Amino acid sequence: MELRSVEELMDLLYAGRHRHALRTAALLRRSRPADKELQLAGLVRGIGPVLCPGDEAAGAGSAAEAVRPLLGERVARLVRADTGPADDDVLRLRQAEEEGRTAAFDAGVLEDWRTVLELVAAGRCRLGAVD
C-alpha cells in the first residue's frame, strides 16, 4: 500500500495503536523539538500491524514503504529502524517507544499532529525549520 494523502494516513493511525504512538511522538517532541521527521516516525510506526495483521516481521517494512511517498526517505528509514543499523536517531526512537509503553501522561490527540503531517508531506518542513 502506498499512501497518497495525510487523510489516508490519519485513517490508518486511528485504526492502529494510536495511544502508544501519541506518547512516543510526544516524548520525541520533548527531546528533539525541531526534528519533526523523527517525531512523525514515532507516530506512524504503529501502522505496521494495521497494514500486516498478524505479521510483525513485515509490519515495519510495510509501514516504511507506505509512508515513503508521503513523508519522505528519512521518515521511511526511521520507521524501518528494526531492520537496519542503529544510529542516534534510531536509538532515540527506540528509547521513546519503550518509554511510551509505560509513561502515564496526556499526549494529546491525533488531530494535534495533522498540521505537522501536512507540512512534512508538502516538503515545507525541513530539520529545524519548524519548532
* Continuous H helices in the chain: 6-15, 18-31, 36-44, 48-51, 56-71, 73-79, 88-102, 114-121
State the pLDDT at residue 130.
41
17: left (phi over 0), alpha (psi -120 to 50) or beta: beta
Give me the helix-helix angle, 114-121 and 6-15, nearest 10°. 140
State the pLDDT at residue 39.
96
pLDDT, block means (10 residues), the chain with 131 residues: 90 88 94 96 90 76 92 94 75 92 88 95 60 38
- Closest C-alpha to 10, from 101, 112, 122: 112
State the pLDDT at residue 2.
82
pTM of the predicted structure, to 2 decimals: 0.86
> Which amino acid appears at position 21 of this protein?
A
